[in-house]
Structure 1
Amino acid sequence: MCGRYTLLGDQLELLDEFALEQPIDDFHESYNVAPGQQVLAIIHDGKRKRAGYLRWGLVPSWADDPKIGYKMINARSETAHVKPSFKQLMAKRRCLIIADSFYEWKQTDKEKIPQRIQVENRKFFAFAGLWDKWTQGDETLFTCTILTKDSHGFMKDIHHRMPIILPKHAEDEWVQPVQFAPSQVSELLKQFEDPTLTAYPVSTYVNSAKNNDQQCIASLA
């Protein structure tokens, strides 16, 4: 799964990295991005890529209660193409969710130790995400979820699930405004190679979403 991550860096670097033409309104860094918060994402509006904020925790357009979003921060890529909540989003509402690292908790004999995980030789990267628009009365929400898969190699020693991190060359393809069959998108995800990852242990200080400062990423090693 993916339940916490970071986004640290300069907006100008982000604009350059993802070839964005417009500045990002209300851009802010975070040492501890958590479910329920507004997260930076990129979509394609049919004319160009646009960056903005979506609430993390998908609320399907047909949902009665927006609280369902707290149960839908992740979507299993292996089954998303057949699930009512995700299959139409796989077809036409794909997004990039931007990060520079993510946290996962490694189980030892005595405790769970949080690890900060980064992509080698890349400052920023994008999780494969899905988004939706929910409206009820005067309330409108734009929300998202991160696609996950079984862990392989490096990540398998830390946790049995991991977020899907898109290769750089696949980012534009993922958000292009073209409708595909959900099964096609599922097969596309299987073709992407995992990036080379690195990790180091951090303090359980990061366990609380209320903590959001440099201490979250301070190495214990």
Structure 2
Amino acid sequence: MCGRYASSRKPEDLVGLFDVASWDPTEALAQNWNIGPTDPVYAVLDRAVRGEHPEPVRQLRTLRWGLVPSWAKDARGGARMINARVEGIQEKPSFRKALAKRRCLIPADGYYEWFTPEVPPGTPKSRIRKQPHFITPADGSVLAMAGLYEFWRDRGVPDDDPAAWLCTCTIVTTAAEPALAAIHDRMPLRLLPEHWDAWLDPALDDADEARALLAPPPPGLMEARPVSPAVGNIRNNGPELIRPLEPDGLF
């Protein structure tokens, strides 16, 4: 799974990287090296801008991480739907419609996973020290994670209230490549630049055809480095969280 990630690029940089044509500066987010479930996050999507552009345009939007299906009775389940497993994604009610109609890219610097060492049977959980790792593109490029988004209407809020609609997203995950599987058996499904347009194309409205686009890139493009256990506390935030630990700082 992907339960924590970093996104420190400025929106102006993301606009250039993803060839964005429309974004609202009032939705700009602060740099965040410790993004957790239900946090606001950036997403890139192709969609018509109401009242401005009848045709779809590339947008940078601020969404809430944790997908809430349009048919959900309330928004509380979003925190449990931060990831969508690619296996069978086109068949699951929570994701099928979004896969066909509402696909996005979620930009990141990288994501965190915790390595659990082998311990003798019966070792209390309190004595197992997990080592966090930051996993990032080896060449320093942006990590574009395949995502889905949904709109959810809060029926308890009047139509003219800005809070009437909630837009949420989820990150598609796949089996980890061999070099990363020892840390965790899952990873976000990264899409390389040559596949961005096809994934975002709103003219593609068939879930099975969209699923066919979700092939992970060749292995070896990511690197993992051990980082401080401070990332385990969601209140900690700053570039020091992604700095590699010296050997004597490892668990």
Shorter-normalised TM-score: what interval?
A: over 0.9
Show the 5 A alignment for 1:21-60: 21-25=21-25, 26-45=28-47, 46-60=55-69
Amino acid at match of 2:180: M
In structure 2, list runs of 5 or more residues that go unmatched. 48-54, 119-127, 158-163, 247-251
Alpha-carbon shift at residue 181 of structure 1 (Å): 2.1
Q: TM-score, normalised by structure 2?
A: 0.83
Q: State the percentage of identical aligned residues.
A: 36
Q: Which of these two proteins has the greater Rg computed from alpha carbons?
A: 2
Runs of 4+ in 1 over 3 A off after TM superposition: 191-195
Per the alignment, residue 125 of structure 2 pairs with none
Structure 2 CA distance for aligned equivalents of residues 83 and 10 of structure 1:
34
Per the alignment, residue 8 of structure 2 pairs with 8
In structure 1, list runs of 5 or more residues that go unmatched. none
User: 1:169–1:195: structure 2 CA closer, same or farther, 3 Å change rule?
Assistant: farther
Structure 1 CA distance for aligned equivalents of residues 24 and 45 of structure 2:
13
2:117 aligned with 1:108: yes
CA offsets per residue over residues 35-69 of structure 1, 9 Å max, x none? 11000001101431000111000000000021110
Answer whether contact 1:119 1:195 (CA < 8 A) is retained: no
Structure 2 CA distance for aligned equivalents of residues 57 and 6 of structure 1:
16
Amino acid at match of 2:46: H
Structure 1 CA distance for aligned equivalents of residues 146 and 216 of structure 2:
13
Show the 5 A alignment for 1:193-204: 193-194=218-219, 196-204=221-229
Amino acid at match of 2:203: V
CA offsets per residue over residues 160-213 of structure 1, 9 Å max, x none? 111101011111211111233212222221364346111111111101111112
Show the 5 A alignment for 1:1-221: 1-25=1-25, 26-45=28-47, 46-109=55-118, 110-137=128-155, 138=157, 139-190=164-215, 192-194=217-219, 196-221=221-246
Answer whether contact 2:23 2:61 (CA < 8 A) is retained: no
Alpha-carbon shift at residue 151 of structure 1 (Å): 1.2
User: 1:215–1:122: structure 2 CA closer, same or farther, 3 Å change rule?
Assistant: closer
Q: RMSD of the alignment, in Å?
A: 1.6
Alpha-carbon shift at residue 127 of structure 1 (Å): 0.4
Structure 1 CA distance for aligned equivalents of residues 29 and 180 of structure 2:
30
Q: TM-score, normalised by structure 1?
A: 0.93
Question: Which deviates more, 176-185 or 99-108?
Answer: 176-185
